[in-house]
Amino acid sequence: MVQHHPSDDTLVEYAAGNIKSHLALCVSVHLQHCPQCRTQVQKLSTLGGALLETLPCEAIDDAIFDRILERVDLVHPEPAVKEDANPLGAWLPDGLADLSWRKQWFKLYEYVLEVPKQGRWRLALQKISAGGIAPVHGHYGREVTVVLQGGFSDEMGVYDVGDFVIRDGNHNHRPRALENTDCICLAYMEAPVRLTGPVGRWLERFRDMFLSQEDLASQST
């Protein structure tokens, strides 16, 4: 059963279409598993439509109206509140089977869905083999995780399929997969993770040698 949900603010921004696309994707995946948040988003969408209808009508010329419609299409995508929708279908037409996982740590694997041409975010699936433990790490930016299969625990809780988890620069944690099945999560990272254990800190020294001065400056802000 889903226990961890997006914040009310995040659901409001999602319903309004005023949210970064990859964060919206994570919310959409959560909504597949969470009737409670689906209902909430549906109510918020209805409320937004009702508020628009109360605005006074004024004549505007066709060119301006076309530009408004273009903007609405850009910033107000239809929220994916249908239970049978598959928000990850474009990346994973065959689901989670037969993916070419790349090993990152002893029992930690990654399957990258998308990397930016610019910026430092990354969208990926992460897998921890049953009973495996990821290295202890913190974050230079927000990390949004939605559990797709299995489950994991860390210092702050236990997370099951559909749970929506946000960690930021104030959190260090060490996820551990539950014992009975591999844990697979969708992860949207706004910035690289920061390894913080003894081995991790040693590895970080080498990583810093390969980061640009611009990256290092942005990490210190």
Binding residues for Zn ion, rule: CB under 5 A, are 5, 34, 37
For the bound state, the minimum distance from the C-beta of residue 202 to Zn ion, rounded and expressed in Å, comes to 39
Question: 105 is written with which tokens?
Answer: 């740590």
Residue with Cβ nearer Zn ion (42 or 172): 42
Q: How far is the CB of 165 from Zn ion (least distance, A)?
A: 12
Closest to Zn ion by CB, 28 vs 126, is: 28
Minimum CB separation of residue 164 from Zn ion in Å reads 7
Residue 48 CA from chain centroid, whole number = 24
Cα 106 to chain centroid, rounded: 24
Residue 9 host element (H or E)? helix 8-16
Q: What does the block give as tokens for 17?
A: 């279409």
Instruction: Kindly state the smallest distance separating residue 178's Cβ from Zn ion, in Å.
Output: 20
d(CA 102, CA 110): 5
What is the 8-class DSSP label of residue 118? S
Closer to Zn ion at the Cβ: 33 or 167? 33
Q: Which is nearer to Zn ion, 162 or 175 (CB)?
A: 162
Alpha-carbon separation of residue 102 from 99, 106, 109, 115 (angstroms): 9, 11, 5, 15
Rounded-to-integer distance, Cα 142 and Cα 9, Å: 16
Tally of CB atoms within 10 A around 67: 11
Nearer to Zn ion by Cβ, of 136 and 147: the residue is: 147
Taking the complex as a whole, the smallest distance from the CB of residue 3 to Zn ion amounts, in Å, to 9
